[in-house]
Amino acid sequence: MYYSTTYSSPICKITLACDGKNLVGLWMEGQKYFGNTVPEKMTEKDDLPVFIETKKWLDRYFAGEKPAIYELPLKPIGGGFRQEVWSILCDIPYGEVTTYGAIANKIAVRTSKKSMSSQAVGGAVGHNPISIIIPCHRVVGSNGSLTGYAGGVETKIKLLEHEGVDTSRLFVPQKGTAL
């Protein structure tokens, strides 16, 4: 059984989802792929310990603190490749960015492959079911482009600026440009 609750953040309304013990989803209002990883209907239940802890974590994050990702019991639902990408996202420090290509290179090294597709990484990043906490907003194109963020590019910019990232060197690409 899966449960949900909502959280009012400074940037938008957020829906949280859990399996009773572990956080399985965090989606911003209007986000692409909203709730698509949860395999069944969710029941609203605000008082579960995982929701209470996640809301405290988010309060701290939006207050400018740097809470550790590993303070929360996370269990994102997805296949092996996506899990690998999401694990790497968790290692991106607060206030820093990396590129899709850098993540692809890390996976290639870990799997002893010659190379890995940045586009495949982009697909996994875009389907991250626990936004903000698993910091997919910290990934940009190799040229500094702010490519597709499921919560919207404007939200991505707000989150990066909140973390102190200098966004003046980043840009929104014209349609049709790649990672």
Q: 92 and 112: one domain? A: yes
Please give the average pLDDT of every successive group of 10 residues along the chain, which has 179 residues: 96 95 92 67 93 99 97 96 97 97 95 91 94 97 86 92 94 67
Burial of 175: CB neighbours in 10 Å, binned 0-12, 13-18, 19+ = exposed
Q: What is the pTM of this model?
A: 0.91
Q: 152 and 127: one domain? A: yes
- Specify the CATH number for the domain of residue 154: 1.10.10.10
Last residue of a domain, one of 52, 71, 90: 71
Q: 85 and 150: one domain? A: yes
Q: Catalogue the active-site residues.
A: 136
pLDDT at 141: 92
Domain that holds residue 119: 80-163
Tally the domains of the chain: 2
pLDDT at 178: 47
Question: Is 100 within a domain?
Answer: yes
Q: What confidence tens digit (pLDDT) does each residue in 27-62 have?
A: 988 776 666 667 678 889 999 999 999 999 999 999
